Amino acid sequence: PVFAGMKGSAIENFSCVIYSIFLMNCTWQAGRDAPADTQYFLYWQQSRDEEEMECELYIKDENCRNVGCIFQNVSIGIEKAYFLVNGSSNNSLIQFYDEYIDLYKI
């Protein structure tokens, strides 16, 4: 069986807001039971034909933990965009979080 990572370590309350046609802001909260050294990394795919890209501009909290991403030059397509947030920690495996979102519905 695939080990899914430590329970309660995946991010919570993931949401994205589009401010103008080209600016999108996604935020999340660290998992309740994630170790203190957990760092999160957001990847997204705008459509099935495009490559997965990592966030270029992270929003950090006071502990320098990534808790959001600002996307610039976002083109809103008809397809669902795919978001994946991976976590890494020196001490344990962190659960990932993923979601397909209709960008035009945000």
CATH of the domain at 20: 2.60.40.10
Tell me the pTM: 0.85
In this predicted structure, the answer to whether residue 88 has a pLDDT above a threshold of 50 is: yes
pLDDT of residue 26: 95
Q: Which domain holds residue 26?
A: 12-102
| 2 is a domain residue | no
| 31 is a domain residue | yes
**Sheet of 53-54: strands edge to edge?**
53-54, 39-45, 80-88, 97-102
In this predicted structure, the answer to whether residue 105 has a pLDDT above a threshold of 90 is: no
Of 21, 19, 45, which Cα lies nearest the Cα of 98? 45
| 42 is a domain residue | yes
Total number of domains in the chain: 1
